[in-house]
Structure 1
C-alpha cells in the first residue's frame, strides 16, 4: 500500500524487493554465503547419519561418535543413480574411557533411492567406514580430494564414471557483487519483454 500511495509501479516494487530487506538494508548473497548454507545442509545430513550409526550399533555416552566437521563431499550421477561421497571427522572417548577425545576420519557413501514417479528420493547409507591417513582408494566419480577406503568393493558408486558431477561451490571465487552492478542486473531481468499469453483456438472460452 505504501508503494502504491507513493506512485511506485509494480515493476519498481518487484525490483526493490529483490534489492532490499523490509528494513531498508541491501540484500547480499555472496558465493561464500551460498557455500556456507550448502555446508550447513551437508553437516545436518551427516549428523543424522552419525546419530543413526550410533543407534544401530548401540553406541551411547562416551562410546558414541559426535560429528566434528564435514571436510570433503562430492555428488555425482552414475548409471541412473545419484551418489554422495563424503569425508567427515568425528570424535569419541571410545571404550577405554580416557578423558581426552580422539578424532577419527570417516568415509560415507549415500545412494539416492528415488523411484520412477517420485519427486524426491531418500538418501540411504551404502558405506560407512573409518579411513586412515594412508588410505588412497580410487573413485572415478570424485575429482576432488575425497579420501576413499583402499577396498574399492566397500562402496558402490565411482567404478564406472559419472554422467554428471555437481561442482563444489567452494571452488568459486568469493568476490562480492557491488550494489550498482547487482541493481543493473536485476533491472535487466525485469526489462526483458514478455510475450503475452494467448489462448489456443480450441481453448478460447465461448461468450456467455
Structure 2
C-alpha cells in the first residue's frame, strides 16, 4: 500500500513537471493573424507606447487607429545576432530565429505610426522634453527613444527575458538603463495577467515579471 502511494505520488510530480516544462511555439504568421489578437489580447488592453485602448476588432484602437505588433527586441537585431543576411534567410534556415520571432513575451501592440517613426531605434534617456509624438509621451532624438514612464518597465523586462532566454546581445549601457526602468516601473496587474496568459498559451513565463529583482544577476 505504501509502495503504491509513493509510486502514485512520484508519477503525479513527474506529470506536473512535464506540464511545467512543456513549451509551445507557433509560426509567427499564426501568432500575428490569430493568437496575439484573439487569444492574448482579445479586444482588451492598451498600446504600449501611447496607451491607446484596443478595440474588439483586431489591429484597431477604439478610436479607429491602426495597431501593429512590435518586437521589443527587434527582429533586425535578432537577424544580426544570428549572423543572417536577411530575415528571410534566418526564417528559412535557423529554427532558433523562428522561435525568437514568435515569442509572445517580446511582442506588444503599438500604434503603427509610432512604430514606423521609431524603426530600429535604441532605448535610452533623452534630456528634457525633446520630441513628443502627437499627444503621446514618446520622445526620439538621434536614434534614441525614451518611452512613457509606465511602459519602461515592460520594455526592460521583455528585453531582459530575450537576452537571458536566447543569449541575445544587449550593451552594458543599455542594461544599466533598463535596470533603472525595471526598478522605477514595477510590474502592473495588467503585465502580470499578460504573463499568466502567455504561460497558458506558450508554456513559459517571464521570470523578470515574477521576480524583478532577478535583474541584479544580469550582465
TM-score range, shorter chain: under 0.3
Q: TM-score, normalised by structure 1?
A: 0.27
Structure with higher Rg: it is 1
